[in-house]
Homo-oligomer: A and B are copies of this chain.
Amino acid sequence: MNWKLTLSYDGSTFHGWQVQPDLPTIQGTLAATLLHLTGETVLPQGSGRTDAGVHALAQVASFSLDGTIPAENLLRALNRALPPSIRILSAETAPETFHARHSARSKTYEYRIFQRRSHLDTTDRICPPFLAPYVWDCRWPLDAAVMQQAAVWLLGTHDFTSFAASDPDLAQRITSATPGPNPIKTITASAFSIENDLLFYRITGSGFLHHMVRNIVGTLADIGRGALTPQDIPIILAKKDRAAAGPTAPASGLFLHSVQYGPDAPQ
């Protein structure tokens, strides 16, 4: 039986999604728990890897089990056995062709930046310790309206080489829905919103290169503090050079928000 799991996790205490010897990872913890519960050795495939410290609101994983088990029992048993930092939101049987990565049509990431509502109030702005693992506590005031103008320039189909991890080894670690390190991606949503002391950025795309969202956010923050302008985005894209873009924003603010699938996924 082929399975589709939707899960949320706090990435703070994990060394990313991908299984690694002797290090706690989401994939490794999930595999160990499935072995413990079912006696079967399976390696759940994620829609993509997440780096150390990166969180997920709704990651998707797929795997096959020989035995049969009612979906609600699997859901309950997993949540009982897993640590509180990993929660299974749903467990569904899926068509045999369904694969969490190959079947994905697009993914949405969310990035959270801590900002006091008033930009004037910069001396005593303090990020609550309970929020720190889940945001970028950005030290300078950001102009969200200018960042929103810049975000619009990312919509459409572009070569995102300038926003990919410059390390060639890392650049191979593509999180795209399409195989191979194709730097051409289509972005269908790219927008900011503000809620209380948090600035939210959401981006939806056909696929994402390694570090792509964090490099985009680091560049948008450079624009938000006036070091670059929105019109620099098309120039940076055209250069196809990592050095042209801004710094990599911290992992702590990044959440895999959701994964969108076509008709071969459970409906």
List residues of A whose CB falls within 8 A of some B CB.
8-10, 55, 72, 75-76, 79, 84-89, 123-124, 126-130, 132-134, 137
Closest to A125 in B: B79
Let me know if A127 and B72 touch, CB within 8 A: no
A72 to chain B minimum Cβ distance, whole angstroms, is: 7
A3 to chain B minimum Cβ distance, whole angstroms, is: 17
For A55, list chain B residues within 8 Å (CB).
129-130
Copies in the complex: 2
Interface of A is mostly: mixed
A8 to B86, CA, bound (A): 26
For A87, list chain B residues within 8 Å (CB).
126-129
Let me know if B134 and A8 touch, CB within 8 A: no
Let me know if B72 and A130 touch, CB within 8 A: no
Contacts A72-B123, A137-B84; is A129 near B9 (CB within 8 Å)? yes
Partner of A132, one of B85, B126, B132, B134: B85
A67 to chain B minimum Cβ distance, whole angstroms, is: 22
A108 to B8, CA, bound (A): 33
Let me know if B126 and A134 touch, CB within 8 A: no
4 more CB-based (< 8 A) A-B contacts, given A8-B128, A79-B126, A87-B127: A55-B130, A72-B123, A84-B127, A88-B126
A169 to chain B minimum Cβ distance, whole angstroms, is: 30
A137 to B127, CA, bound (A): 25
Closest to A11 in B: B129
For A86, list chain B residues within 8 Å (CB).
129
A134 to B72, CA, bound (A): 27
A8 to B10, CA, bound (A): 21
Let me know if B79 and A130 touch, CB within 8 A: no
Contacts A72-B123, A123-B72; is A132 near B84 (CB within 8 Å)? yes
Closest 4 CB pairs of A and B: A84-B132, A10-B129, A85-B129, A87-B126
For A85, list chain B residues within 8 Å (CB).
129, 132
For A123, list chain B residues within 8 Å (CB).
72, 76
A160 to B83, CA, bound (A): 34
A198 to chain B minimum Cβ distance, whole angstroms, is: 13
16 pairs from A and B in contact (CB 8 Å cutoff)? A8-B126, A10-B130, A10-B133, A55-B129, A55-B130, A72-B123, A75-B124, A76-B123, A84-B137, A85-B129, A87-B126, A87-B127, A87-B128, A88-B126, A89-B126, A130-B134
